[in-house]
Chain A
Amino acid sequence: MALTKADLADCLFEEVGLNKREAKEFVDAWFESIRDALEAGENVKLSGFGNFQLRDKNERPGRNPKTGEEIPISARRVVTFKPGQKLRARVEAYAGPRK
């Protein structure tokens, strides 16, 4: 099962003792703050978890895979995530089925 905002709000209710409404608002505000920073052109560094980094891409040639028609892919800014060492180490230890 995928983890959702509702699960994170439950976690704040159980572990931090926020009430359900506060917990839900806090989770929304958490993600909104990160989006705001990225929108403002700032990288976001969450030590122990990872960094959200902005990259500016130049225009490059592309192709419509269905028709084979050549169309340029416009210049754009994209978000990339670089997992931190601690998270990478924890995930590496996952020995379940291949994803």
Chain B
Amino acid sequence: MTKSELIESLSEQHKHLSQADVEMAVRAILDRMSLALSEGDRIEIRGFGSFSLHFRPPRMGRNPKTGEPVALPGKHVPHFKPGKALRERVNAAANL
């Protein structure tokens, strides 16, 4: 499912909203979540999961072209931990 398919599916379910409003709302949610993470805040959605930041310590890397070592600074990366309901539903549906 892509973002446009998500917009389509939500428009189907919310016929009282215009397509433009649904598009704006989908973007607003994604922007708000990105903003929270970029400010170092967690996101907690019960039954879905939580997003947080993980720190990657500084390390020595290499320029892949020249092989020259380069110092890479520490950085944060986004991390998602699926919630219980999502884990259980996805796994139950898989029927492995």
Name the B residues within 8 Å of A2 (CB-CB).
41-44, 50
Is A71 positioned at the interface, with any CB of B under 8 Å from its CB?
Answer: no
Contact B30 A76 (CB under 8 A): no
Given contacts A8-B32, A34-B6, contact A98 B26 (CB under 8 A): no
Contact A46 B6 (CB under 8 A): yes
Instruction: Provide the B84-96 mask, 1 if CB < 8 A to any CB of A, else 0.
Output: 0111011101101
Of residues 1 to 22 in B, which have CB atoms within 8 Å of A's CB atoms? 1-3, 6, 9-10, 13-14, 16-17, 21
Size category of the binding interface on chain A? 35 or more
Name the A residues within 8 Å of B45 (CB-CB).
4-5, 31
Which residues of chain A have a CB within 8 Å of any CB of chain B? 1-5, 7-8, 11-12, 15-18, 22, 25-27, 29-31, 33-35, 37-50, 52, 54, 56, 74-81, 83, 86-88, 90-94, 96-99
Which residues of chain B have a CB within 8 Å of any CB of chain A? 1-3, 6, 9-10, 13-14, 16-17, 21, 24-26, 28-30, 32-34, 36-55, 74-80, 82, 85-87, 89-91, 93-94, 96
